[in-house]
């Protein structure tokens, strides 16, 4: 648990007293450069612009982010999303593909009612039902009616409306912020790919003591449609502002880093080091408490880098805290999550017990294979020590472990009905599988693609700073005159981008001493021959998954796995076969634990 942390002294004393003057100076610099980031070609020169900016202003803040013993952070390598094709990120196809195979493929869900409805309290927010109508999307459904598209599981939604609407009045009172709450409808086309068909952008409006929504709907414009095409691109960028910040605060920090801590602490307090569950789980706790402590001190602290680089700023952790109130441990299991979001249905005939409704859903397809391998390993391992439920029920240490994790670690949620009672072996198998999944594959899926996808911030900006331009307005005329400049001036400011991108490069990097799923850092982790044999089978299954991922990424039938950007989906490539050669930003590999 408190292993080799020397590889990641990643965040130096950014906010200590000896740096305050320097930090204040940089914040002033940020204000001065908010409107000073001009480019003539977004994809062609923005990365060069950021690199030159960082050379000219060798910020101590950036230097302090460097891992010990390496200088690769200073290189700002070309993010994979634009490495081979500088314009692919701008397409509707890539925008939609990233909801299935990007850095945050956990939010998309199947639409079951039209128009989409809100779950916000109507006594506070009125009727927040979507204003998207059938007329907005009828021409994009390949001849289907809306009802036919719903009935055939072909309409999906990326819904951030309810996530942000309760916070927008406060958030938009902050300088250089103009944030919308968005809903994006996507249609599953006949070739198995998704296409965005409408984006609704909403602002809060006070009416008779109720925070109502004032909404505008945008629909796709052809790339050659001049200003209209850029308005549509800006709408997609503003959706990604919502998604970027939800990814960082919820999908990443809350749902992996934060929720793991109670299990780490309870395991070390209640289970002896020779206990079989302690031996099973310990590799998946390596460095987690260290990196979380460092994050609280330097990243997510008040006024820290996180607040500096995302739009909710001082409200970011408040949002995360509120969302935790609806967290459900059992729904962190991948099959349960997919069913909840309507992305899969139960299927007893499948080895995964579920069937995907979008077959070419790379995160879910690879994830289910990894989940199943973990589940098989945990089942075989625990069967050695728990031949029946009675042995489990009589295990005093195990019962104390689960009681502390639930009632002390997750005390705010201890009375929720969904907690396993821990009275049966299948309950223990599911719990341990879920813990390992969160620590390894889930974290890998949301962490190691950050720089490849978000390192080019027009693809996934963290802030929107201007209202959407309205035809006839001065802003619209400005857009018509120089659309690229208008676009860049509407998203993350230059200083924020430099700091944020530098951080993402570090967080996305694998160290040379990474221990991947299916590996152990010592051969002596157990002397039990049966456990050793089961673990070898686990490693073999993961190696087969590697071959499966490679084969599917080469198969032209799976269009969502290999985008126009020529960037295949490898975030859930286990990398069990790795011998330490793949370091830095590789966009692949599932480490055992949350250590970065």
Q: In Å, how far from its chain's centre is CA 482? A: 33
Is 257 among the residues known to form the active site? yes
Distance between CA atoms of residues 320 and 261, nearest Å: 15
Instruction: Compute the distance between CA of residue 33 and CA of residue 48 in angstroms, rounded to an integer.
Output: 16
443 labelled catalytic: yes
Q: Are strands 181-188 and 194-207 parallel, antiparallel or unpaired?
A: antiparallel
Q: Helices 92-101 and 227-246: crossing angle, nearest 10°?
A: 10
184 C-beta neighbours (distance < 10 Å), count = 29
Out of 160, 163, 252, 410, pick the active-site residue: 252
List of residues 6+ apart from 186 with CB closer than 8 A:
96, 99, 108, 155, 156, 157, 158, 194, 195, 196, 197
Give the whole-angstrom CA distance, residue 381 versus residue 403: 22
Q: Which of 136, 247, 372, 443 is catalytic?
A: 443
* Closest by Cα among 196, 124, 110, 116 to 154: 110
Cα 403 from Cα 419, distance rounded (Å): 10
CB atoms within 10 A of CB 440: 25
Q: Whole-angstrom Cα distance, residue 69 to residue 111?
A: 49
- The Cα–Cα gap between 365 and 515 comes to 23
Does residue 37 have a cis bond before it (omega within 30 degrees)? Answer: no
Please state the separation of Cα 145 from the chain's center in Å.
33
**Active-site position among 104, 447, 575, 592:** 447
- Please tell me which residue in 199, 436, 590, 596 is annotated as part of the active site: 596
Distance of CA 182 to the CA centre of its chain: 17
Q: DSSP letters of 246-308? A: HIIIIIIIIIIIIHHHHHHHHHHHHS-TTSHHHHHHGGGGTTHHHHHHHHHHHTSSTTSHHHH
Measure the CA–CA gap between 331 and 417, rounded to whole angstroms: 13
Out of 161, 163, 257, 275, the active site residue is: 257
3-state SS, 135-163, equals: HHHHHHCCCCCHHHHHHCCCEEEEECHHH
CA dist., res. 299 & res. 376, Å (int): 37
Mark out the alpha helices in 197-254 (DSSP H runs). Answer: 227-246
Question: Which distant-in-sequence residues (6+ apart) come within 8 Å of 443 by Cβ?
Answer: 252, 256, 257, 591, 594
Q: Is 372 a catalytic residue?
A: no
357 touches 345 (CB < 8 A): yes
The DSSP 8-state label assigned to residue 49 in this structure reads H
Q: Return the H-helix or E-strand segment holding 454.
A: helix 450-454
CA distances from 114 to 47, 106, 162, 393, 480 (A): 41, 21, 16, 48, 34
Q: Cβ distance 392 to 474 under 8 Å?
A: no
Active site residues per annotation? 252, 257, 443, 447, 596
């Amino acid at each position: 648990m408190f292993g080799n942390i020397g590889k990641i002294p990643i965040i130096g004393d950014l906010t200590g007293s000896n740096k305050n003057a320097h930090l204040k100076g940089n914040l002033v610099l940020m204000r001065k450069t908010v409107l000073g980031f001009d480019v003539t070609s977004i994809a062609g020169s923005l990365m060069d612009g950021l690199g030159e900016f960082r050379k000219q202003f060798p910020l101590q803040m950036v230097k302090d982010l460097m891992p010990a013993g390496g200088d690769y952070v200073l290189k700002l390598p070309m993010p994979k999303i634009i490495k081979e094709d500088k314009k692919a990120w701008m397409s509707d196809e890539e925008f939609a593909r990233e909801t299935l195979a990007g850095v945050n493929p956990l939010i998309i869900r199947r639409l079951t009612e039209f128009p989409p409805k809100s779950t916000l309290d109507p006594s506070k927010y009125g009727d927040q039902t979507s204003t998207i109508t059938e007329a907005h999307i009828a021409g994009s459904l390949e001849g289907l009616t809306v009802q036919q598209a719903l009935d055939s599981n072909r309409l999906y939604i990326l819904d951030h409306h309810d996530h942000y609407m309760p916070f927008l009045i406060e958030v938009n009172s902050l300088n250089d912020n103009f944030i919308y709450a968005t809903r994006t409808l996507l249609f599953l086309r006949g070739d198995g790919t998704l296409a965005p068909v409408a984006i609704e952008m909403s602002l809060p409006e006070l009416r008779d003591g109720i925070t109502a929504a004032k909404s505008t709907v945008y629909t796709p414009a052809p790339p050659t449609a001049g200003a209209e095409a850029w308005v549509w691109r800006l709408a997609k960028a503003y959706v990604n502002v919502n998604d970027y910040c939800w990814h960082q605060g919820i999908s990443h920090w809350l749902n992996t880093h934060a929720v793991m801590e109670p299990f780490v602490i309870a395991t070390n307090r209640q289970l002896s080091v020779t206990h079989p569950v302690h031996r099973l789980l310990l590799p998946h706790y390596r460095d987690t408490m260290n990196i979380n402590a460092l994050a609280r001190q330097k990243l997510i602290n008040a006024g820290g880098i996180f607040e500096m680089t995302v739009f909710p700023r001082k409200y970011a952790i408040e949002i995360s805290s509120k969302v935790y109130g609806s967290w459900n441990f059992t729904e962190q299991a991948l099959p349960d999550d997919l069913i909840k979001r309507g992305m899969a249905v139960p299927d007893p005939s499948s080895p995964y017990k579920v069937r995907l409704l979008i077959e070419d859903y790379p995160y879910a397809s690879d994830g289910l294979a990894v989940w199943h391998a973990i589940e098989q390993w945990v089942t075989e391992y625990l069967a050695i020590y728990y031949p029946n439920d009675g042995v489990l029920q009589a295990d005093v240490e195990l019962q104390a472990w689960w009681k502390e994790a639930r009632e002390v670690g997750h005390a705010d949620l201890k009375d929720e009905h969904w907690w396993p009672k821990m009275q049966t072996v299948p309950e223990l198998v599911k719990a341990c599988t879920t813990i390992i999944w969160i620590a390894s594959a889930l974290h890998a899926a949301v962490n190691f693609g950050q720089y490849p996808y978000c390192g080019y911030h027009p693809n996934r900006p963290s802030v929107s700073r201007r209202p959407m331009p309205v035809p006839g307005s001065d802003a619209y005329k400005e857009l018509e005159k120089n659309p690229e400049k208008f676009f860049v001036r509407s998203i993350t400011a230059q200083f924020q981008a430099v700091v944020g991108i530098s951080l993402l490069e570090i967080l996305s990097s694998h160290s040379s001493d990474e221990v991947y799923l299916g590996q152990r850092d010592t051969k002596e982790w157990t002397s039990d021959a049966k456990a050793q044999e089961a673990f070898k089978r686990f490693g073999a299954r993961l190696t087969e998954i590697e071959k499966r991922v490679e084969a599917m990424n080469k198969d032209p039938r799976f269009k969502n796995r290999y985008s126009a950007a020529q960037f295949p989906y490898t975030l859930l490539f286990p990398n069990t076969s790795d011998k330490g050669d793949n370091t830095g930003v590789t966009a692949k590999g599932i480490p055992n634990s949350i250590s970065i």
